[in-house]
Amino acid sequence: MRLWRARRRHCHIDATITASGETWHVAYYRDDRPLMFREFGRESDARADAATRLKDLQRAGWVVHW
């Protein structure tokens, strides 16, 4: 499930979250190419990581776009 999409200069970065057993995976894609993957033991930690990265991107000039 996509959590958010950020856009800037005709590029986009997506954050997705999935569950596998008791592990939560957050994946980041730039222009539909894998950028980074992270694993967490709790859903709240995974969502917090994605929210933090979105705030960092927004500070750098990226805007939220669904």
Residue 30's φ and ψ, nearest 5 degrees, are -110, 120
Q: List Cα–Cα distances, 5 to 21, 42, 50, 54, 66, in angstroms.
A: 26, 22, 11, 9, 6
Structural tokens at position 50: 């994605």
- Positive or negative, the CA dihedral 34, 38, 39, 44 is negative
Q: Tell me the pLDDT tens digit for each residue of 9-65.
A: 999 999 999 999 999 999 999 999 999 999 999 999 999 999 999 999 999 999 997
Cα-trace Rg, the chain: 12
**In the chain, what are the domain boundaries?**
2-60
Predicted confidence at residue 65, as pLDDT, reads 79
